[in-house]
Chain A
Amino acid sequence: MTRSMTGAKIVIQALIDQGVDTIFGYPGGAVLPIYDEILLQNRIKHVLVRHEQGAVHAAEGYARSTGKVGVVLVTSGPGATNSVTGITDALMDSIPIVVITGQVPTFMIGTDAFQEADSVGITRPCTKHNWLVKDTDRLAETIHQAFHVARTGRPGPVLVDIPKDVQFASGAYSAKNESRTGHYKPKTRGDAEAILELVEKLETAERPIFYTGGGVVNSGRKACKHLRQLVDETGFPITSTLMGLGAYPASGPNWMGMLGMHGTYESNLAMHGCDLMINVGARFDDRITGRISDFSPNSFRAHIDIDPSSINKAIQVNIPIVGDAGSVLKDLLGIWRSRGSKTSNGAVREWWQQIKEWRKVDCLSYKPSTATIKPQYAIQRLEALTADADRFITTEVGQHQMWAAQFMGFHEPNRWMTSGGLGTMGYGLPASIGVQIAHPEALVINVAGEASWLMNMQEMGTAVQYRLPVKQFILNNERLGMVRQWQELLHGERYSHSWSEALPDFVRLAEAFGCKGISISDPADVDDAIMDMLNYDGPVIFDCVVEKHENCFPMIPSGEPHNKMRLGEDSEAKTIDASGAVLV
């Protein structure tokens, strides 16, 4: 039975039907009817952010830490354009988000009305799909379809643009189960023959490697369970992209650490030297492959991905398997077990010997200091002092992000929220807010750099308003560290505009926001200060003044293959040639 209600009410009813408990938003003229309805109900909690970009990142943090769809509500014009960075971020990292934007009334569309922007036009290339709803009768169905598209197949952000007159008008409400979801039904089961072919390869491989990505985390707990079983039972080494950390536990016996530009020596050399590469839910990103022509020259490659366009995009593979990571891993594990769980044991043992040799290089080592706080040391201490907690880590983008990925261990999926594909500075603080909203009792830490953190620092207001005890762990080198590092390596140490001469006093800033501020610069104070932060019941801005010129190693210089990695300041090949320098 259909019920008649206003468009604004339909929006709220549809969200309730979809099981939404939280929305992140910011009101404005074109969404006022919906905000009226928010006030008249208590099923959905609205979190008022301080900037629309923050709303989207917060929804991303919520989505990534729960596996649910994140919801954003913003107004027309600037509300929509401000959310574009967050939407693009969610697209690049395949995060399910539904963004609802207000729009000027239908009869004013195209007249350059106040706060009018072509929201569906602007967001067409950065959403998985978007809709402009011009008829209240279609509104409920469109919202249900939006959730379906956001969470089905390769997840991603969608946007529903609702003109103000459509919000005021009355229309028929159709419930979730009465709404057509359209023809969007991506294939989730992998091809049985291809899976069998891969099983045969598992049985005979001498130098195998699992290379896993965010697709495993996105697929869910079951995919992670099957991955863990498969890796542990085969005894094959495993590495992961930045996005996939936690799918296989960092404490697991076969874990080699992250791979890629700032990945571990053993992971990258194992990728280069393997004879069987099993890519599960990763996409051969340029941060991973380095120089394409020299990428893993002697390997036979299988690629499991739910998105057919990910396959053979950057790297040609031998066995493409289009399907959901969880479903394919389950089938793979089942067939492999039913054939007697065979591997070529002796050869794999030798392979492990080789990997252990590479491990001895101890690629993450750095020169300790008693005079200044080394950023690596600060993160190591943070790791050690929080290892027992079921903690959630978000990051900004830059050196600190890579150090966090290198030095922190993730034992469960959905505990690591970072901007991978788009590399959005300003992601971490609002993301930590979204995570804390979803997990009120958990320890949530944003490992940040001061430059990134300042990009969305207004969201501390949100944290204080909702009493969210998020810990902002800022490694303050008074530099744009990663930019500085590239200028040193690529641009003749010409440090053009990569430092700030007017940083705020973070402790007084914290006081101004109404939260706690801590500032340290002596390595001897690190442990006590971290404990101070952890023991404080409320949001903390932790200003950790660190060594200013520390570089992040290991590093595969752009345009180089995996086996040309630099381990530290003393490595050869100080400069990068012109063909490498054009890459980002």
Chain B
Amino acid sequence: MNELRIKSGTSRKSAYDLRSPVIEDHETHTLAIIVDNEAGVLARVVGLFSGRGYNIESLTVAEVDHEGHVSRITIVTNGKPAVIEQIKNQLGRIVSVRKVLDLTTDGPSVERELALLKIKGKGQNRVEALRLADIFRAKVVDSTLDSFTFELTGTPDKIDAFAELVRPLKLVEIARTGVVGISRG
């Protein structure tokens, strides 16, 4: 497998937004969208973003209450404050959306992302990779004679930082879940 070509510094804000630098006066918000778990609901939400030209930095979705047919979609988006307001109102209008929470403004919250990173290498690079993993509390979840796969959980910034550090050690593949978040207390 070839080395990943992630230019230094480009993934500082988000690994999903490698091309467009964040425009000034844009804010990044994490929205938790509580929806009916029914066919097509994700398409409704995502279609709203693409149809109206809103940005998606990351997206995660899973059922959270089987009995109550509830799923939770977490979207990290950016835009001018008026656009963020508009996004929330437009989401609120979708019939299968029950609630829209803005984790960025509705009080303190915690946000986490999980990543799997595969590093190929032998000799000294392997040792260095394990040392960095130790510092970041990344776990080894798979190991071969010439590769390690690490599991790392944390804020997107922490994952960016780890990816940045192990990149020269021949980081060949990275998988990220996108952000999930929840309000504190």
CB-defined contacts of A182 to chain B, threshold 8 Å: 36, 95
Does B93 have its Cβ within 8 Å of any Cβ on chain A? yes
Partner of B89, one of A125, A183, A311, A316: A311
Let me know if A338 is at the binding interface, CB within 8 A: no
Q: Among A121, A183, A309, which residue has its beta carbon within 8 angstroms of that of B93?
A: A309
A129 to B96, Cβ gap below 8 A?
yes
CB proximity of B50 to chain A, nearest CB, Å = 9
Which residues of B sit under 8 angstroms from A125, Cβ to Cβ? 47, 51
Chain B proximity mask over A116-140: 1 for CB below 8 Å, otherwise 0:
0000110011001100100000000
**B86 contacts A313, C-beta separation under 8 Å:** yes
Tell me if A251 counts as interface (CB < 8 A to partner B).
Answer: no
Contact B93 A312 (CB under 8 A): no
Chain A residue contacts of B47, Cβ below 8 A = 124-125
B95, A120: Cβ atoms under 8 Å?
A: no
B43 at interface by CB-CB < 8 Å: yes
Q: Does A107 contact B (CB under 8 A)?
A: no
- The interface bits of chain B over 27-50 (1 if a CB of A lies within 8 angstroms of the residue's CB, else 0) are 000000000100110011001000
A121 to B39, CA, bound (A): 11
In the complex the two chains form, what is the Cα distance from A128 to B44 in whole Å? 11
Question: Which one, B39, B85, B86, contacts A132 given CB within 8 A?
Answer: B39
Q: Given A121-B43, A125-B47: A308 and B93 within 8 A (CB)? A: yes
- Give bound CA distance, A290 to B98, whole Å: 36
Contacts A308-B89, A309-B86, A312-B85 given; does A184 touch B95 at CB 8 Å: yes
Q: Indicate with 1 or 0, residue by residue over B78-115, a CB within 8 angstroms of chain A CB atoms.
A: 00001001100110111110100000000000000000
Decide if A307 is an interface residue (CB 8 Å cutoff): yes
**Structural contact, A124 and B43, CB atoms closer than 8 A:** yes
By a CB distance below 8 angstroms, the chain B residues around A184 are 95
CB distance from A125 to the nearest CB of B (A): 5
- Could you tell me which residues of chain A, from 130 to 174, have a CB within 8 Å of some CB in chain B? 132, 149
**Which residues of A have CB within 8 Å of B85?**
312
Q: Which residues of B contact A183 (CB under 8 A)?
A: 98
Contacts of A128 in B (CB 8 A): 95
Closest chain A residue, CB of each to CB of B51: A125
Inter-chain contacts of A120 with B (CB < 8 A): 40
Determine if A124 and B44 form an interchain contact, defined as CB atoms under 8 angstroms apart: yes
Q: How far is the CA of A309 from the CA of B87 in the complex (A)?
A: 8
Chain A, residues 175-208, CB within 8 Å of chain B (1/0): the string is: 0000000111000000000000000000000000
B95 partner, pick from A149, A309, A312, A313, beta carbons under 8 A: A149
- In the complex, the chain B residue whose C-beta lies closest to that of A129 is B95
Contact between A309 and B40, CB atoms less than 8 A apart: no
Are A124 and B95 within 8 A (Cβ)?
no
Specify which chain B residues have a CB less than 8 angstroms from the CB of A149 in the assembled complex: 95
Q: Among the listed B36, B40, B90, which residue makes an inter-chain contact with A124, where contact means beta carbons less than 8 Å apart? A: B40
Compute how far the CA of A128 lies from the CA of B96 in the bound complex, rounded to whole angstroms: 10
Within the assembled complex, what's the spacing in Å between the Cα atoms of A168 and B61? 36
Please, what's the 1-or-0 string for A246-259, where 1 marks a CB less than 8 Å from any CB in chain B? 00000000000000
- Bound complex: CA of A121 vs CA of B51, how far in Å? 13
- The interface bits of chain B over 51-77 (1 if a CB of A lies within 8 angstroms of the residue's CB, else 0) are 100000000000000000000000000
Complexed CA–CA distance, A121 and B36 (Å):
17
For A128, give the chain B residue with the smallest CB separation.
Answer: B95
Contact B92 A309 (CB under 8 A): yes
CB distance from A465 to the nearest CB of B (A): 37
CA of A313 to CA of B89, assembled, Å: 10
Among A43-64, those with CB < 8 Å from B are none
Most buried by A among B51, B86, B90, B92: B86
Is A308 a contact of B39 with CB atoms below 8 Å?
A: no
B residues near A307, Cβ cutoff 8 Å? 93
Separation of A307 and B86 alpha carbons in the complex (Å): 11
Which residues 281-338 in A have Cβ within 8 Å of B in the complex? 307-309, 311-313, 316
- Cα distance, A308 to B92, chains bound together (Å): 9
Contacts of B44 in A (CB 8 A): 124
A308 closest partner in B (C-beta): B89
A195→B94 CA distance, assembly (Å): 27
Shortest CB-to-CB span from B173 to chain A, Å, is 32
Of B47, B85, B93, chain A has the most CB atoms within 10 Å of the CB of: B93
Q: Distance (Å) between the CB of B88 and the closest chain A CB?
A: 9
| CB closest chain-B residue, reference A134 | B39
Note all chain A residues with C-beta closer than 8 A to B40: 120-121, 124, 132
**Closest CB of chain B to A324's CB: distance in Å?**
15
- Complex CA–CA separation, A316 to B85 (angstroms): 12
A73 to chain B, nearest CB (A): 22
Chain A residues contacting B92 (CB-CB under 8 Å) are 308-309
Cβ contacts A394-409/B at 8 Å (1 or 0 each): 0000000000000000
Which of B44, B82, B89, B98: most chain A CB closer than 10 A?
A: B89
Cα separation A356 to B47 with both chains bound (whole Å): 49
The answer for the CA separation of A435 and B39 in the assembled complex, in Å, is 36
Q: Tell me the minimal C-beta distance from B84 to chain A in angstroms.
A: 11
* A120→B82 CA distance, assembly (Å): 31
- Expressed in whole angstroms, the Cα–Cα distance for A450 and B94 within the complex equals 39
Contact digits for A358-389, partner B, Cβ 8 Å, 1 yes 0 no: 00000000000000000000000000000000
For A152, give the chain B residue with the smallest CB separation: B95
Smallest CB gap from A126: residue in B: B51
The CA-CA distance from A308 to B94 in the complex, in Å, is: 12
Residues of B within 8 A of A313 (CB): 86, 89
Bound Cα distance A273, B36 (Å): 47
Contacts of B43 in A (CB 8 A): 121, 124
21 contacts across the A-B interface (CB closer than 8 A): A120-B40, A121-B40, A124-B40, A124-B43, A124-B47, A129-B94, A129-B95, A129-B96, A132-B39, A132-B40, A182-B36, A182-B95, A184-B95, A307-B93, A308-B92, A308-B93, A309-B92, A309-B93, A312-B82, A313-B86, A313-B89
Chain A to chain B: the 6 pairs with minimum beta-carbon distance, closest first: A309-B89, A129-B95, A308-B89, A309-B90, A309-B93, A184-B95
Apart from A124-B43, A309-B86, A309-B90, 14 more pairs, CB < 8 Å:
A125-B51, A128-B95, A129-B94, A129-B96, A132-B39, A132-B40, A182-B36, A308-B89, A309-B89, A309-B92, A309-B93, A312-B86, A313-B86, A316-B82
